[in-house]
Amino acid sequence: MFEAFENYMMSRADLTKDQLKYICSLATMKKLRRRHLLLKEGEVCQYKIFVSKGLLYTYRRKDDGTEYIMRFAPEDTWTIDHESYNNQTPSVYNIEALEDSEVMLWRRDEFEELATAIPTFKGLSDQLKANSLDISQQRILKNISYTSEEKYEDFITSYPDIFRRVPLHMVASFLGVSRETLSRIRHARLKQNNL
């Protein structure tokens, strides 16, 4: 688990071996079985989460059981409910393992300690937050301006690995379209490709 994280960090930040060892020493490693809830709606998000192996997703469930998927987090990505974590308020989301997964967790005080002690780590954290905001803004724009077909094409181009790993109804939920609409789009695309 540490090896995947170390490779990730070394490719993105100029850290010494001692700094990397320190970052890892404050992490809690956890193996998750598929369907394990790492964060449940109503709980306060206590951790920044790095996915070493597997796939997590963040979603909200309505009373009728409908899921609204906000994000997928495959290997080598971070995930968190920023609002709950930053404000220490109950989350409106769930974070769940879609596959058997391995994650590294840092409590808020641990993460702040690392950011203070290692400026390079803080810089990387700030860059990750900025990237997350950029991705969220792009997603909002696509949701309000793209057709269902354009959303689908963008998803399979941007996230080909995730597309192959998740059920169609989850892709539909992430895109904000019905499963029937997504099935129609996929069939039309397949038909067009076979011409």
pLDDT in tens, 18-71: 999 999 999 999 999 999 999 999 999 999 999 999 999 999 999 998 999 999
pLDDT bucket at 176, cuts 50 / 70 / 90: very high
pLDDT of 192 > 90? The answer is no
Task: For residue 153, give the nearest of 188, 180, 178 by alpha carbon.
Answer: 188
Write down the pTM of the prediction: 0.92
Q: Vertex 91, ends 39 and 72: CA angle to 5°?
A: 55
Q: Vertex 95, ends 92 and 100: CA angle to 5°?
A: 165
Amino acid at residue number 49: I
* pLDDT of 49: 97
pLDDT bucket at 191, cuts 50 / 70 / 90: confident
Task: For residue 5, give the nearest of 28, 24, 18, 33 by alpha carbon.
Answer: 24
32 within 8 A of 38, measured Cβ to Cβ = yes
CATH of the structural domain 2-116, one choice from 3.40.50.300, 2.60.120.10, 3.30.300.30, 3.40.50.2300: 2.60.120.10
* pLDDT of 190: 82
* pLDDT of 193: 77
* pLDDT of 195: 63
Amino acid at residue number 96: E
pLDDT in tens, 77-129: 999 999 999 999 999 999 999 999 999 999 999 999 999 999 999 999 999 99
Question: Interhelix angle for 148-158 vs 179-193, to 10°?
Answer: 70
* pLDDT of 150: 95
* pLDDT of 3: 87
